[in-house]
Amino acid sequence: MPDYRRNRVPGGTYFFTVNLLERNRSLLTDNIELLRNAVRTTRRNKPFHIDAWVVLPDHMHCIWTLPEGDADYAARWKAIKIAFSKALPHTESLSAVRLAKGERGIWQRRYWEHTIRDERDYAAHMDYVHINPVKHGHVARVADWPYSSFHRLLVAGVYAPDWAGGNDEVLATGEHS
């Protein structure tokens, strides 16, 4: 059996990638309000700061900072996944294993987590989160993707309106100068 080890830093900042089980579906963007409600409900019960978030049709990337003394991001992801899943009608196909365990066939069981190490790592992951809609061919300019914290960060002056609007260097590396 695999031994999954997670780095847990109380009050830490983390980058996540969370995928749908069926990567050809667009459940996340088709049901964006259900996802937003799941996140809101979870944040009321177990607060965390959203540094960055982008929702694509079949996966999402985000950066969270947890409250001081708290490293339990796993409980937060579990709550978000459960709340979103419960809000959806049962239309997915289920494997025998998932059926036997009483699971839905919506999410991949695991997710990618990375503990942010320093300011450079933070900046690189912030850029990676926001460039993803362009990287995956959903839009030509980051500003054109509606399901992204880019818009909030644009207003805050973190990014310029034309950031990564076809900039080959940013597209290739996920970083900007």
C-alpha count within 13 angstroms, C-beta hemisphere, residue 68: 0
Burial class (CB in 10 A: 0-12, 13-18, 19+), 89: exposed
- Residue 24 and residue 58 in contact, taking contact as beta carbons nearer than 8 Å: yes
Coil, strand, or helix at residue 10?
coil
Catalytic residues: 147
- Residue 8 and residue 15 in contact, taking contact as beta carbons nearer than 8 Å: no
Residues 6+ away with beta carbon under 8 Å from 132: 54, 56, 61
- Residue 13 and residue 51 in contact, taking contact as beta carbons nearer than 8 Å: yes
Question: Strands, E, within 6-115: which ranges?
Answer: 13-19, 49-55, 59-65, 112-115
